[in-house]
Structure 1
Amino acid sequence: MWLYALRRLLMTIPILIGVTVICFALVKLAPGDPIQNLVRPETSAADIAKLRAYYGLDQPVVIQYFVWLWRVLSGDLGTSIANNAPVASEVLRAFLNTITVALISVVIAFIASMGLGIIAATRQGGLVDKFVTAIAVFGISVPTFWLAVVLVIFFAVNLNWLPATGMGSSGSDTFNYFKWDDFKFAVMPIIALALPPLGIMTRTTRSALSEILNQDFIQTLRAKGLSEFSIITHAVRNIMPGAIAMLGLQLGYLIGGSVLVETVFTWPGTGFLLNKAILTRDIPLLQGTILVLATVFVLINLVVDLMQSLVDPRIKRI
């Protein structure tokens, strides 16, 4: 097991190096000059050149990459061009806001999808199965930004039950998820983020469990007199490796794909920060945010692989 974990860990090193190359290259290939957002039209060429030298933008692209990579390895993601703040602290604060909501959303989606998938698989072709399938299809098909807007209109505007945007009057500094006055700001973002993975994992669970329940060894277990609950429990164990893999993928999707939802709700997470960095052409902030999100996604996949090897003994561990 430890050799398998070490091998998977070593395999992530070239992946992370590739992530840094792609992250740096994509930002550099984007049109526009970030320095132009900082200066007035009447700024002299000499002052612009000084700013470019200050941020290292006057160096060749290859030199810029290795300088940036060395700083990243030392924990320095640079300084934001827009507000002159350390990128690492900006990204960390935003990431904590995103990961908490994403974790709550994916846990809710996972628990609900397992329940719905099991109910649908044990009642194949029935009315309940069709109803669960309709819920899953709706969750997969509905655009998250449209759902976010509908939630705002219904719960915030029409019913006035929940606040439309923001993260409370004090922001993230004193936000407490265990206090309703604070948590109510996170309710609609959680719903909007949870529905798509709920639909995907429900369909996956239903399909995988139906396939297991139709196999010959299940009929053998029934013939031996096992209760239906024991049979379903045995079948669920067989689909857990795939369910764990889907859980990890959906968590990575929520962390990296929350731009539109966080923008609609003005939730100060990495998605909102990424959108702000794109609009202001803040290259250090943009690079730092993308790098952190990509690195977290790679690490989530590593953890999922290790968890699968623990759950499923058929996965090679050496």
Structure 2
Amino acid sequence: MLAYLLRRIAYAVPIMLGVALVCFALVHLSPGDPLVSILPPDASAELQAQLTELYGFNRSYPEQFASWLWRALQGDLGTSIATGRPVIEEVLTAVTNTLRLAALATLIGFVFGGLFGFVAGYFRNSWLDKLASMLSVLGVSVPHYWLGMVMVIVFSSQLMWLPATGAGPGGSADWAWDWEHIQFMILPALTMSVIPMGIIARTVRALVADILDQEFIIGLRAKGLTHLGVFRHVVKNAAPTALAVMGLQLGYLLGGSILIETVFSWPGTGFLLNSAIFQRDLPLLQGTILVLALFFVVLNLLVDVVQTLLDPRIARA
């Protein structure tokens, strides 16, 4: 097990370096001058040269990448061009807010997606299977940004049950685990959970249906094992693959929530990325992308380790 863990960590290191390189290249190859957002229209050539040197844009791309990577390894992601604050502070605040939202969306999506999938797979071709399959297909097909706007119209504008935007009363960014703040999470979390719920339900349904057709299940039933006992064996065999899909979906929730967070004005990484793109804030943009990508790599590493604990055959392979 230790050798497998060390091997997976060794595989993750070049992936992280590759992610950092791609992140830097894509951001810097995009057109436009990042200093336009802070320079006045009548800025002198001397001021432009000073700011260009200050942010290191006068150096070659390899020099900029080496300097940025070295500082990133020390926890310094630079300074935001738009706000003047350290990028690491902006990113950590946004990541914390996104993690809160993703945690609730993950709980909703995994619980209901797994439940629908197991029920649909175990009771194949029944009305439960058809209903669960229909809901999962609907969840995957509906655009989540459109669903978010519909939920705002219905539950905030018309019924006035829940707040529409923000992360706290009065636009406050301070967080507390009480109902006054949690109610701001409900609509964006429900919207975020719909797509992973549908994907997980479809995946688990296919896994369960495939396992039920295997010979060892027929043998268990021939031995007189109860439905509950057979169900436990099905869950145990489906868990590793289902866990891998759930881990990927959690990664997508952390990095792919830009539209939902923009619709609900949730101050997370998606909202931060949107602001950085429109403001052409290169340090903030590449710092946010790097942190999200590293989260995704580490999350996949953790999923691999947990999969191995559930199914030792993976490590032997």
Could you tell me how far apart the structure 1 residues matched to 2:315 and 2:74 are?
35
The aligned counterpart of 2:274 is 275
1:235 matched to 2:245:
no
The aligned counterpart of 2:72 is 72
Equivalent residues of 1:259, 1:274 under 8 A apart: yes
The aligned counterpart of 1:54 is 54
Could you tell me how far apart the structure 2 residues matched to 1:214 and 1:63 are?
58
Equivalent residues of 1:309, 1:317 under 8 A apart: no
Q: Please list every run of 5 or more consecutive structure 2 residues that lacks an aligned counterpart in the other structure.
A: none
Structural RMSD (CA): 1.2
Equivalent residues of 2:169, 2:180 under 8 A apart: no
Could you tell me how far apart the structure 2 residues matched to 1:167 and 1:107 are?
19
Could you tell me how far apart the structure 2 residues matched to 1:171 and 1:6 are?
45
1:225 matched to 2:224:
yes
Equivalent residues of 2:108, 2:190 under 8 A apart: no
Equivalent residues of 1:101, 1:190 under 8 A apart: yes
Could you tell me how far apart the structure 1 residues matched to 2:229 and 2:171 are?
48
The aligned counterpart of 2:139 is 139
The aligned counterpart of 1:314 is 313
Could you tell me how far apart the structure 2 residues matched to 1:211 and 1:202 are?
14
SS at match of 2:313: coil
- The 1:146–1:173 alpha-carbon spacing in structure 2 relative to 1, beyond 3 Å, is closer
SS at match of 2:104: helix
- The 1:70–1:161 alpha-carbon spacing in structure 2 relative to 1, beyond 3 Å, is same
What TM-score comes out, normalization by structure 2 length?
A: 0.98
Matched to 1:2, the amino acid is L
1:39 matched to 2:49:
no
The aligned counterpart of 2:90 is 90
1:3 matched to 2:11:
no
1:150 matched to 2:173:
no
| More moved, 39-48 vs 77-86 | 39-48
The aligned counterpart of 1:169 is 169
Could you tell me how far apart the structure 1 residues matched to 2:301 and 2:142 are?
30
Could you tell me how far apart the structure 1 residues matched to 2:280 and 2:247 are?
31
Moved over 2 A (4+): 169-174
SS at match of 1:225: coil
The CA deviation at 1:204 is: 0.5
Matched to 1:137, the amino acid is V
The CA deviation at 1:168 is: 1.1
> Kindly, what percent of the aligned residue pairs are identical?
49
Could you tell me how far apart the structure 2 residues matched to 1:110 and 1:164 are?
24
How many residues get paired?
317
Matched to 1:165, the amino acid is T
SS at match of 1:240: helix
1:264 matched to 2:284:
no
Matched to 1:315, the amino acid is I
Could you tell me how far apart the structure 1 residues matched to 2:120 and 2:255 are?
30
Equivalent residues of 2:113, 2:197 under 8 A apart: yes
The aligned counterpart of 1:103 is 103
The CA deviation at 1:169 is: 2.7
Matched to 1:275, the amino acid is N
The CA deviation at 1:107 is: 2.0
Matched to 1:151, the amino acid is M
